[in-house]
Amino acid sequence: MEKIIPVTKNQELEVEIIDLTNEGMGVARVDNFAIFIANALPGEIAEIRVVKVLKKFAFAIVLELKKESPDRVPAKKELLQTGIAPLQHLAYDKQLEFKQHQVEHVLKTIAKMPDVPVLETIGAKNPVAYRNKAALPVRRNEGKLEVGFFKKNSHDLVPMTDFYIQDPKIDEAAQVILGILERYNVKAYDEKNQVGFLRHLLIRRSDNTKQMMVVLVTNKDKFFKSAEIAETIVRELPEVVSVIQNVNPENTNVILGKVNHQLIGNGFYEDTLLGKTYHISAASFYQVNTPQAEILYQTAIDFADLKKSDVVIDAYCGIGTIALSLADKVDHVYGVEVVHDAIVDAKTNAAINDVDNVKFKAGLAEVVMPKWQEKNIHANVVVVDPPRKGLAESFIEATVKMNPERIIYISCNPATLARDLRLFADLGDYKVEKVQPVDVFPQTTHVETVVLMSRVDK
């Protein structure tokens, strides 16, 4: 017999919020049927309207808060609409607790490791205005160019000038650039009809070097007066050291296309991290919160307990930030990365920092590592920092065969981390020693985690 759903669309009712989801939505229950509610916190009593009903749960919006949580802080409506800062209404110390509990939960339920202690989340000194990168859709609204963010589950742009979690210098630069583009009559892209020209404005900035990169993502290759526009941007924004046109003619949610035209500069900007300097190009992966990235990587280095005789493999090495940060503490580092352009950047970064005990190789780590082993390269420490999807089982198998003494896992997704820790335990004799969450993305539900695994010698 099919279960009767106790709520209907557009129904209004009063509920108590009892929990938060991993996405930061409040949870209420009616006859044990879950309702997920944006901008609601545990302990609150809210009058809500149901906006969507599915077989196992429903979604609702808050009409009125009858009782507020003591952990609630003022929030900006447009940021809640777009999902840029889904935890901004939760006091920051409680955000850190929320992230610690996220990691604890998946270790118990997915990794089946209930006894592994999870340390308190390391918070940011400045939990706002931290992002060093902005990728902003550009649209024409009421006759003028504007940037903003899309409403959740839609492509309706919410115009914004203050993005709250971004470097304010980036927000200011975006408005200056829009003004310049207006003067040159640059047309905004119309996504619905797939016409127009300027799709996105991508800005990256280092607060350490005061250098900025501007990427104009266009729908077509031909860019009238592009050199003159680039010169005007640099003249009006002296921090800009590189202006690039990126061409993306595809009907896709992917922001950057494959073709870049360097309009001004060398195609990169510089930032410093843990005493090293990095050249960062338009498509390079680089942590968006530099101060917290330093804490994240230093935690990984501390967990690795490195000795001068150690040989380290940095899998998923990207542009070399982790490999170069620990190179002066060990005998040799081998970095592997599937993105060829990132390896080019990594080699450049090794050269500009005069680091000569690092070797970078393009390829799949699970393919490259066994070849290194055949050449009698034996790493006693392996560092992994994969994307959100986590590690391939073939990579875990290759790592276990290499039999390192210690494995440092830097994760941006607690669920795939827990899955992979379970596999490491099942496929090899590795014990999880320490788990340290680090808040690299304040005001959001994302959490980075550093884990130390040690080989259990029998």
| 66 in any annotated domain | yes
Measured distance CA(457)–CA(424) in Å, rounded = 15
In this structure, the answer to whether residues 241 and 308 fall within a common structural domain is: no
In this structure, the answer to whether residues 367 and 257 fall within a common structural domain is: no
Which one, of 448, 398, 391, lies nearest residue 420 by Cα?
391
In this structure, the answer to whether residues 155 and 220 fall within a common structural domain is: yes
In this structure, the answer to whether residues 392 and 425 fall within a common structural domain is: yes
* pLDDT at 458 (0 to 100): 59
Measured distance CA(372)–CA(91) in Å, rounded = 48
Domain that holds residue 17: 12-72
| 309 in any annotated domain | yes
Measured distance CA(74)–CA(250) in Å, rounded = 40
In this structure, the answer to whether residues 313 and 422 fall within a common structural domain is: yes
| 277 in any annotated domain | no
In this structure, the answer to whether residues 37 and 118 fall within a common structural domain is: no
In this structure, the answer to whether residues 35 and 19 fall within a common structural domain is: yes
412 is a catalytic site residue: yes
What string of pLDDT tens digits covers the 458 residues of the chain? 567 899 999 999 999 999 999 999 999 999 999 999 999 999 999 999 999 999 999 999 999 999 999 999 998 878 877 889 999 999 999 999 999 999 999 999 999 999 999 999 999 999 999 999 999 999 988 889 999 998 887 888 889 999 999 999 999 999 999 999 999 999 999 888 878 899 999 999 999 999 999 999 999 999 999 999 999 999 999 999 999 999 999 988 899 999 999 999 999 999 999 999 999 999 999 999 999 999 999 999 999 999 999 999 999 999 999 999 999 999 999 999 999 989 999 999 999 999 999 999 999 999 999 999 999 999 999 999 999 999 999 999 999 999 999 999 999 999 999 999 999 999 988 999 999 999 999 999 999 999 999 998 75
How many domains is the chain built from?
3
| 284 in any annotated domain | no
| 88 in any annotated domain | no
In this structure, the answer to whether residues 34 and 172 fall within a common structural domain is: no
Are the C-beta atoms of residues 63 and 48 closer than 8 Å to each other?
Answer: yes
* Alpha helices, DSSP H, located in 256-407: 290-304, 321-326, 340-352, 365-374, 393-402
| 283 in any annotated domain | no
| 1 in any annotated domain | no
Could you say which of 46, 333, 412, 452 is catalytic? 412
